[in-house]
Amino acid sequence: MLDPKLIRNDIDNIAAQLKKRGFILDTAKFNALEEQRKTLQVKMQELQNERNVKSKEVGHAKAKGQDVQPVLKSLKELSDSLKLVEDDFARVQQEMDQWLASIPNLTHESVPQGKSEDDNQLIRSWGEPKKFSFQPKDHVELGAPNGWIDFETAAKISGARFVVLRGALAKLHRALGQFMLDLHTQEHGYQEISVPYIVSAESLFGTSQLPKFKEDLFAVSGENERYLISTSEIPVTNTVSDSILNADQLPMKYVCYSACFRSEAGSYGKDMRGMLRQHQFEKVELVHIVKPENSYQALEELTSHAEKVLQRLELPYRVMALCTADIGFSAAKTYDLEVWLPGQQRYREISSCSNTESFQARRMKARWRDENGKIELVHTLNGSGLAIGRTLIAVVENYQDELGRIHIPKALQPYMNGLEVIE
């Protein structure tokens, strides 16, 4: 959430910055709500002062033995009037908060301007796409005939956009997750964390999934409003909600393996083939909680850690800086990692690494106390390190041979009991 003071003091500049990312700020609505808020606040203060004066008059009248009923009647009328004004103030403040919650983050000055994903900027690439002596197959053609990848059974059990993995491919899927966790904890300095898969609406608001992305979530039936997580970024980042951290606790670097659940509302017909867009998938998530002055250095570091997974697996990829039209709601700056998929003959997103600056922290009330005792908001960052299902697709397609066998990357062979080829 943006700082309301920032909007009050510089609304035209804020509107101009938001326009770059295609968001039109309703300045008229803000000004109207702000005027109502100020008027009611002044009226509330006046009535509170009058009530205080009347309360003292009651005490004086009692001390003098005078009839206090007229003063009590007047005090009651003041209290009733104050309650009405307080209710109106709360209603306007709630409307203001809802309006503020609909506004995306401001983008960093280094974010390229654009009108669509076609304007995303190539930052760097690594590795060269392999030239096959045969027509490479996609992961469905490679896995489905052998029963390694089974969509029919998954559909029977759960419906569309689920998958059953079997045998060595199921083991390869598990090996990828363990490999990523080991790399990030042993070489990149992350603390592993395990979190709940069900979260409250408050937690989802804190990391900006609610209210904007409610349709993409799976709600859990029950008395309380709770949801399955769409990413472990939600519970991991919320571990510091409603907190004041000490300077020596920062930076925090967490890595989390979890299942993720997404309804994919509005994506009908998009990436329907295979495992690219599933209702349930596994992911290794990286989360940083840092001091504000260090957050852009942390973004580069986090992105490099996600890249290292692809480098160890020897998978060609590229790093793209998302433009103003393609960047996520809460992000100030985002790098997407796109891995080469021979079966599609194109690069596809496999990780998104973002700095949200203080946008999530303001919603979560996540703060830190500096060496001088000053309290301010932390900065939060997150990124996939990596999405396991898509990494599995990339390994299967890049390591296939003309006989339809899958060769195991050297980095994964220790996790596969030395297996080198899936026959």
Catalytic member of 330, 338, 390, 397: 390
What CA–CA distance (Å, rounded) separates 254 from 403?
Answer: 41
- Residue 301 bears catalytic tag: no
Catalytic member of 295, 330, 352, 358: 352
Count of CA atoms in the C-beta half-sphere (13 A) of 288: 30
Catalytic member of 277, 312, 318, 348: 277
Task: Answer positive or negative: Cα dihedral of 102, 106, 111, 115.
Answer: positive
Q: Which residues contact 215 (CB under 8 A, 6 or more apart)?
A: 263, 265, 266
Catalytic member of 349, 367, 369, 376: 349
- Residue 37 bears catalytic tag: no
- Residue 152 bears catalytic tag: no
- Residue 21 bears catalytic tag: no
Sequence letter at residue 181: L
Catalytic member of 262, 338, 351, 363: 262
Kindly give the pairing relationship between strand 252-261 and strand 191-192: parallel
What CA–CA distance (Å, rounded) separates 19 from 31?
Answer: 18
Determine how many CB atoms are found less than 10 A away from the CB of residue 67: 9
What CA–CA distance (Å, rounded) separates 423 from 416?
Answer: 14
What CA–CA distance (Å, rounded) separates 407 from 83?
Answer: 72
| SS3 letters across 156-223 | HHCCCCCCEECHHHHHHHHHHHHHHHHHHHHCCCCEECCCCCEEEHHHHHHCCCCCCCHHHCCEECCC
Length of the chain: 423
What CA–CA distance (Å, rounded) separates 138 from 343?
Answer: 4
Tokens of 262: 């997404």
- Residue 74 bears catalytic tag: no
Backbone angles phi, psi at 32, to 5 degrees: -65, -45
Which residues are catalytically annotated? 262, 277, 349, 352, 390
